[in-house]
Structure 1
Amino acid sequence: MTTASLDPRALRDAFGSFMTGVTVVTANDASGNPIGFTANSFASVSIDPPLLLVCIAKTSRNFATVTAAKGFGVNVLSDKQMAVSNTFAKPVEDRFASVEWRIGPHGAPILAGVSAWFDCSMNEIVDAGDHAILIGRVEAFENGAMAGLGFARGSYITPGLSGKAVSAAAEGVPLIAAVVERDGAVLLIPETDGRWRLPQMALKGGEALAALQDHLAATTGLGIEVGFLYSVYDNKTTGHQHIVYRAAADPGDTQDGRFIPLAELPLDRMDNSATADLLKRFAAESALGNFGVYVGDEKQGKVHPYARKA
């Protein structure tokens, strides 16, 4: 495939599969007023000297201001700051009006409540296609106690939710399963009594995602990409802890089970009511394009939304 034949939208989606943190990059304009924007193209570069980088699009309304500034700040957002991320991603006039902030030791605006912040002098600006790479020398920093906010495939991810899955796994031998979707249909496995279930396995050790990926590949014979955590719950009726992920399947015939359209799911013939409820929620969320992760038991719990980027 040549560069000319690359689909920009598909390339952006592929880049978006890499899970990153979320930052707000800040600086001061020529009049000393604060400016800032949300960015996830951030990376450490060097410890000695202390360097980091962020990228900014040349089409950004902040491009001229940031590249002319003597330095900039990088605020690594905590998992409680989705709203802050959305505020600094929107084209509003005063993004700082709704957040608490202060001037850092080297002069960059520093936001309150962040997971970490870095106040940098401008070390180098590197031309990089339709972006510029800002390499900053860290003049001051602080590492907070808050967990960072994650981002992948257009959705925010809070690490605390995945931590609940680890806690559940520690309490016994959990069943790990997946809602495997393809073209609006979900993979279900038939049982001998005429009921259906999700593809699942008992997790007896090792890394959960790797074990699930191997199990799904062996079960279906298809390429499978395991995605986000979708549900963590105790089923007091069966005595199992359940950890369920979302997954996507490549085209082809499956070796076991059948892909059943969401509108035709046999909800009255699932292996248990908890699975039926999970699939009802999945069908409803699919229609809206807005997913969350459920934490609780087979009867009650809470859905924590993966907020979409504004």
Structure 2
Amino acid sequence: MTDKEACFDPRALRNAYGAFMTGVTVVTTRDGDGNPLGFTANSFSSVSLDPPLVSICLANTSRNYAAFSTAGGFAVNILSEGQKEVSNTFARPVDDRFAAVDWQFGPQGSPVFDGVSAWFDCSMFKTVEAGDHLILIGQVQAFETSTAPGLGYAQGAYVTPAAEAKAVNNKADLLISALIERDGKILLTDNGHGRLTLPEMPVGKAGATATLKKLIDGIGITAQPGFIYSVYEDEAREHQHISFLCQAAEGLPSRGVFTDLTETTLMDIADPAMCTMLERFARESRMGNFGVYYGNQIRGEVRPIVSDK
């Protein structure tokens, strides 16, 4: 048993799945004969941090209903951006779905996959009938995360960090910022006038992906780009703003400081639109659920990044 399995940290759980909540998941268990079962879903959601609970919705018409509704537990495998075919396989009636992925039985007994962004092996905490679906609530008993960006699904298509960046490469006056998190703190830098800001940089001819990499490299730490957290038109500064949520590894940045998003800190944020975004991030971090903001610096909407598929 690894340290992660033996010493479960609720903050680590929030960090682990918070960054990948755009994600497509494969939910797995074993049938009465011990055979592995699984299906693709993107209805994965956090329920509680103490105890650590997560939920999945299963249609009453699913051929897996009987096995999952009576199972002693299940695992949630959050697919990485290179696992589109795994998602497709587990979404179709394939004879041997598990031949498409390397896997093993997790510590709690459900199948967990190699190469995923994260997996959570859960005991069954409770099942709840909800209309034409059954809500499976699992208590996380073991988990493992990686730095691999998660695979997303939106409006009938897969979404990856690379694809999201490509979609915004052609925007005029585009500004990229990096919302870099580590241990619940955010990296903030001086804007040159005694106020605080996120690391940011205008997008050049190289495009958004290269700009984000250059921005992170200039900070002097290792950080893994995740999903686009906020998209808004800042009419006051006359640009389109794209903020990427990133997870940082250990190490001291060459500029900026990792800071708690307290009320005092937020008052020192130079840009009001950025301050509003960080206030939302502070709230969502406490809840463990994230959304993507679309709008301008004054008004917009937060679209949940977890939805029933």
The TM-score range, normalised by the shorter chain, is: 0.5 to 0.7
- Cα deviation for residue 201 of structure 1 reads 1.0
Structure 1 distance, partners of 2:58, 2:266, is 42
- Cα deviation for residue 228 of structure 1 reads 2.0
Structure 2 distance, partners of 1:305, 1:202, is 27
- Cα deviation for residue 61 of structure 1 reads 3.9
| TM-score, with length taken from structure 2 | 0.56
Structure 1 distance, partners of 2:271, 2:230, is 15
- Cα deviation for residue 200 of structure 1 reads 0.8
Q: What value does the CA root-mean-square deviation take over the aligned residues?
A: 4.7
**Contact 1:235/1:298 (<8 A) preserved:** yes
Structure 1 distance, partners of 2:254, 2:59, is 44
Q: Does 1:236 align with 2:235?
A: yes
- Cα deviation for residue 245 of structure 1 reads 1.0
Equivalent residue letter for 1:279? L
Name structure 2 gaps, 5 residues minimum. 45-54, 70-86, 120-149
Counterpart in the other structure of 1:211:
211
Task: Specify whether residues 87 and 234 from structure 1 end up closer, same or farther in structure 2 by C-alpha distance, changes over 3 A only.
Answer: same
The alignment partner of 1:180 has SS state of: strand
Counterpart in the other structure of 1:86:
56
Deviations 1:120-152 (A, max 9, x none): 4459989965389x9xxxxxxxxxxxxxxxx95
Q: Does 1:296 align with 2:295?
A: yes
**Contact 2:168/2:208 (<8 A) preserved:** no
Counterpart in the other structure of 1:278:
277
Counterpart in the other structure of 1:222:
221
**Contact 1:188/1:258 (<8 A) preserved:** yes
The alignment partner of 1:253 has SS state of: coil
Counterpart in the other structure of 1:34:
none
Counterpart in the other structure of 1:174:
174
The alignment partner of 1:189 has SS state of: strand
| Higher RCO, Cα 8 Å, sep 6+ | 2
**Contact 1:209/1:226 (<8 A) preserved:** no
Task: Specify whether residues 89 and 182 from structure 1 end up closer, same or farther in structure 2 by C-alpha distance, changes over 3 A only.
Answer: farther
Q: What is the aligned length?
A: 229
Task: Specify whether residues 123 and 229 from structure 1 end up closer, same or farther in structure 2 by C-alpha distance, changes over 3 A only.
Answer: closer
- Cα deviation for residue 206 of structure 1 reads 3.6
- Cα deviation for residue 278 of structure 1 reads 0.7
- Cα deviation for residue 175 of structure 1 reads 0.6
**Contact 2:186/2:261 (<8 A) preserved:** yes
Structure 2 distance, partners of 1:256, 1:124, is 46
The alignment partner of 1:158 has SS state of: strand
Equivalent residue letter for 2:285? S
The alignment partner of 1:88 has SS state of: strand
Within-5 A mapping of 1:128-143 = 129-130=104-105
**Contact 1:195/1:270 (<8 A) preserved:** yes
- Cα deviation for residue 263 of structure 1 reads 1.7
Task: Specify whether residues 222 and 265 from structure 1 end up closer, same or farther in structure 2 by C-alpha distance, changes over 3 A only.
Answer: farther
**Contact 2:23/2:152 (<8 A) preserved:** no
Higher Cα Rg: structure 1 or 2?
1
Counterpart in the other structure of 1:56:
none
Deviates more, 1:175-184 or 1:231-240: 175-184
The alignment partner of 1:204 has SS state of: coil
Structure 2 distance, partners of 1:124, 1:174, is 43
Which of 24, 31, 37 lines up with 1:62 in the alignment? 31
- Cα deviation for residue 197 of structure 1 reads 1.2
- Cα deviation for residue 75 of structure 1 reads 6.8
- Cα deviation for residue 270 of structure 1 reads 2.1
| TM-score, with length taken from structure 1 | 0.56
**Contact 1:190/1:257 (<8 A) preserved:** yes
Counterpart in the other structure of 2:74:
none
